Amino acid sequence: MKTALVAFAALQLLTGALLWLAPGFFHDEIGPFGPENTHYMGDLATWYLAFGALVLVAALGRPAWRVPVLVLALVQNALHAFNHLLDIGEADPKRLGPSTFVSLVVLTALLAMALRASSRRSP
């Protein structure tokens, strides 16, 4: 579980870093939905960076935090996937809409499995 959480934390931290430090790259290559707005991308980066740090603490230093952190991750990713479903045809290039949605659904399923496994181990 620790390894999975560290990997998830790394994904969150990398996403936050890209949003903050390379918003143009992020918009063009990962999230080409609507016009680029670097201010809002920076605002979103703060969520990813803070959440990534929280997941890392849960993985490495506070095992009791794992279940609540995974619940938050699961809810956030499910909502994120739903938001991408609503805008699935808005990406440019069009192929990124469905592929991003599917990747978020897969990540949400993995988080659900991690939550289930962590819930069994939790007192």
Distance CA 82, CA 39 (A): 23
Cα–Cα distances in angstroms (integers) from residue 102 to residues 12, 61, 69, 72, 87, in the given order: 18, 32, 23, 20, 13
93 Cβ neighbours under 8 A, 6+ residues apart = 32
Q: Which pLDDT score is estimated for 31?
A: 86
28-45 residue pLDDT tens:
988 888 889 999 999 999
Could you read off the pLDDT of 7-26 as tens digits, one per residue? 999 999 999 999 999 999 99
What residue ranges in 73-113 does DSSP mark as E strands?
A: none
> What is the per-residue pLDDT across 44-65, written as a single tens digit (0 to 9) for each?
999 999 999 999 999 999 999 9
All structural domains of the chain with their residue ranges: 2-121
Give the residue among 106, 103, 90, 114 at the shortest CA–CA distance from 33: 90
Q: Looking up tokens 């230093």, which residue turns up? A: 61
Give the model's pLDDT for residue 122.
60
27, 41 in Cβ contact below 8 A? yes
pLDDT digits (tens, 9 = 90+) for 52-105: 999 999 999 999 999 999 999 999 999 999 999 999 998 888 988 999 999 999
